[in-house]
Structure 1
């Protein structure tokens, strides 16, 4: 055949726990899935240190981590259906939880375990799916959760290895030499103005005592490089959050977002590679991506 097969554009999002995909990138994943992009979600931990039935927390004598992990895997599948994901890759490393002291984290947990095998896993997944865009957390994990910070560190290590070999091979046109390409890399972001707007709407609807994401999670508006419009996929995001029915944090966020609504809803990012050098902000993670064969 003389026709050249066009490779499907691919977005890979690397998260720490089941439900992170919905709360932080749900609209983005749904938007690109609907546009025909192959959406690959990598979830690093099993979520076993999340809420058990009836909201029981880790450490309670009726909290059974294996059962929690099984339920959260099912909820993740349902969230993936709501978002139209092409593939969910569950690495199922042990959830670190949020103990009072980092020293109390199980040495076998994701945030403390030997990172080399996990970097190799992530590197292999990048080579398997050859994404055009990779999304993960910023260095502080967005929320400072140890599993989020570790996800950033290990994803960056895998990306560095990909960069060291020049990226993925790309077939050249007839008479030209083949080349290589690197995916674009983005960090999930929340602008301070967006967080303040959510807090204002939540307090107006639900009272001043309502929980809202802390402003400390936010970055200056000028540091946001890319804003993805998710207005057509807001309800996909809410359905994905609703799928994580066992988790009180996800349901608290769902309540806020459902009752307060969203005007011109967006999800925000910082482009980390190629580094942002100023100019007009992006509205599309795939801006400038050349579809390769």
Structure 2
């Protein structure tokens, strides 16, 4: 890294917990080395499926208080990762979790996907101009796994970074097919794993041939685990005390905690970026 001023990284995520699931190790790594890390979250995650039975009444079809609860979870996760600059796009509660494809919550008047792309892009442009990040991270055009809010986050980030010249690079956070398959195979060897092992092809992955950047997060896995635990309504974390670890969402499918986080360069020069989001930037 040859930057003469502190590196500035901005990540655009759809819901509370996405920052930890997709990029938690990366955030912790750069925050620990003095980078200025800003996380932008687009919704409160009001439509999330709740894991703890004692909190089920927070759900959208009951008290509809999950969004506020997840604000506190996100605050704890950001603290675990070393994030001191977190923002909700347009302010807390401006945009609502749209839910998965084809569900009634897609039509809520405050649903993120019901909002104006131009308005949302302008909101993000304002943040980019304030923060002036050299590197911006979001999802690919499929949103990683097809969630409408992830796709919208991709759309507005693509549009916003196109008009803000200070952004040197844009990356898409993805999951590695090779690392996921090897990690899942290792989970099969662990005793007492409380989650169901994934079937072949069940977890969303990206072919390694198109991955441009692998960030080593091996020294920051503990921070990522703490952040995942903070999102207890959405994520269950298991550790066996002997180095084995896994997590699961509400579907109960085991996901491995791998040693790297993976990216596809979407904008900017890739020179020096093989293992460092800022590598080669001057």
**TM-score w.r.t. length of structure 2:** 0.82
Maintained 8 Å contact 2:74/2:231: yes
Write the distance in 1 (CA, Å) between the matches of 2:196 and 2:257: 23
Q: 2:207 aligns with which of 174, 196, 220?
A: 220
Cα offsets for 1:153-207 (capped at 9, x unmatched) = 1111111222xxxx13xxxxxxxxxxxxx32110001111111112212233238
1:60/1:151 CA distance change after superposition, 3 Å = closer
Write the distance in 2 (CA, Å) between the matches of 1:189 and 1:89: 22
Write the distance in 1 (CA, Å) between the matches of 2:56 and 2:42: 23
Q: 1:137 aligns with which of 136, 139, 161?
A: 139
Over the aligned positions, Cα root-mean-square deviation in angstroms equals: 2.7
Q: 1:190 aligns with which of 175, 182, 185?
A: 175
Gaps of at least 5 residues in structure 1 are: 1-5, 169-181
Aligned length: 259
- Structure 1 or 2, whichever has the larger Rg, is 1
Write the distance in 2 (CA, Å) between the matches of 1:213 and 1:58: 34
Write the distance in 1 (CA, Å) between the matches of 2:85 and 2:230: 17
Which secondary structure does the structure 2 equivalent of 1:124 belong to?
A: helix
Maintained 8 Å contact 2:169/2:268: yes
Gaps of at least 5 residues in structure 2 are: 247-255
Cα offsets for 1:13-50 (capped at 9, x unmatched) = 10000000111100000000000000000000111111
Which secondary structure does the structure 2 equivalent of 1:40 belong to?
A: strand
Maintained 8 Å contact 1:199/1:212: no
1:202/1:76 CA distance change after superposition, 3 Å = same
**TM-score w.r.t. length of structure 1:** 0.80
Cα deviation, residue 64, structure 1:
2.4
